[in-house]
């Protein structure tokens, strides 16, 4: 009888021991959100993303549950659009209260990759900082398939793509390390059409 009671107590307390209180702040299309609280299985995360489109910068912060694979910091350079994301993860109650600092701008590192302007993907872009990978992204947004190319840090290449599907975008990202290794191709539509859904793939959505 004592053994049964012990087992019941263990079973009752075990789920609460695994639950972690975290702040949740999911930005809307305008980049604003309100802090609430949620229960997470393992880690809390907070992320600061900066999107630079033709010199116009927008900083967006988000908070939510996070897995180890989502604790990513790095940058993505698609030519006219540059994105940096700085994510911090922690594992104590409400530890994701502060927003991490935005990553600083970095100079060109000598590497070049192909990127796309409208239907032409034969242009080249200078990679910045620790962007050591050339990327090719095939994305599906609202039933339209597009191709995008550019530079990225290795951490972006290794990040999970499940959040893209949650945001209504499915896609395949391939990375390579050679100079101009992502090939020059044409695309069917401007990549600006999927700018907002693409950004969502680097947030906790």
Instruction: Report how far residue 151's alpha carbon sits from residue 79's, in angstroms, rounded to the nearest whole number.
Output: 8
- Mean of the per-residue pLDDT values for the chain? 78
Q: What is the pLDDT of residue 18?
A: 59
Instruction: Report how far residue 54's alpha carbon sits from residue 42's, in angstroms, rounded to the nearest whole number.
Output: 38
Smallest Cα–Cα separation from 189: which of 137, 136, 148? 148
Tell whether 7 is covered by a domain.
Answer: no
Tell whether 6 is covered by a domain.
Answer: no
Q: What is the pLDDT of residue 144?
A: 73
Q: What is the pLDDT of residue 161?
A: 57
Tell whether 183 is covered by a domain.
Answer: yes
Pairing of strands 144-152, 20-24: unpaired
Could you list the residue range(s) of the whole structural domain that residue 134 is in?
Answer: 18-200
Tell whether 95 is covered by a domain.
Answer: yes
Q: What is the dihedral of CA 67, 69, 74, 80, to 10 degrees?
A: -90
Smallest Cα–Cα separation from 111: which of 81, 143, 75? 75
Tell whether 166 is covered by a domain.
Answer: yes
Mean pLDDT of 4-31: 65
Instruction: Report how far residue 80's alpha carbon sits from residue 177's, in angstroms, rounded to the nearest whole number.
Output: 21
Instruction: Report how far residue 151's alpha carbon sits from residue 133's, in angstroms, rounded to the nearest whole number.
Output: 6
In this predicted structure, the answer to whether residue 48 has a pLDDT above a threshold of 60 is yes
pLDDT category, 54, cuts 50, 70, 90? confident
pLDDT category, 64, cuts 50, 70, 90? very high
Tell whether 205 is covered by a domain.
Answer: no
Mean pLDDT of 4-20: 49
Give every strand in the sheet of 185-186, ordered side by side. Answer: 108-117, 120-128, 185-186
Mean pLDDT of 69-94: 90
Domain count, the chain: 1
Tell whether 2 is covered by a domain.
Answer: no
Tell whether 13 is covered by a domain.
Answer: no
**Its pTM surpasses 0.85:** no
Question: Mind listing the pLDDT tens digit for each residue in 105-118?
Answer: 899 999 999 998 87
């Amino acid at each position: 009888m004592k053994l049964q009671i012990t087992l019941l107590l263990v079973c009752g307390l075990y789920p609460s021991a695994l639950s972690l209180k975290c702040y949740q702040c999911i930005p809307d299309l305008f980049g604003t959100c309100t802090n609430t609280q949620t229960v997470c299985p393992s880690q809390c995360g907070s992320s600061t993303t900066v999107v630079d489109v033709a010199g116009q910068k927008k900083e967006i912060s988000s908070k939510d549950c996070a897995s180890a694979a989502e604790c990513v910091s790095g940058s993505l350079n698609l030519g006219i659009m540059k994105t940096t994301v700085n994510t911090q993860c922690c594992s104590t109650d409400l530890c994701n209260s502060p927003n991490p600092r935005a990553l600083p701008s970095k100079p060109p590192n000598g590497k070049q990759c192909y990127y796309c302007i409208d239907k032409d993907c034969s242009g080249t872009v200078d990679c910045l900082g620790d962007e050591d990978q050339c990327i090719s992204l095939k994305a599906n947004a609202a039933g339209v398939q597009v191709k995008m190319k550019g530079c990225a840090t290795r951490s972006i290449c290794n990040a999970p793509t499940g959040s893209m599907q949650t945001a209504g975008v499915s896609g395949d990202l391939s990375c390579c390390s050679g100079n101009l290794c992502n090939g020059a191709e044409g695309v069917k539509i401007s990549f600006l059409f999927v700018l907002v859904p693409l950004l969502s793939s680097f947030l906790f959505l």
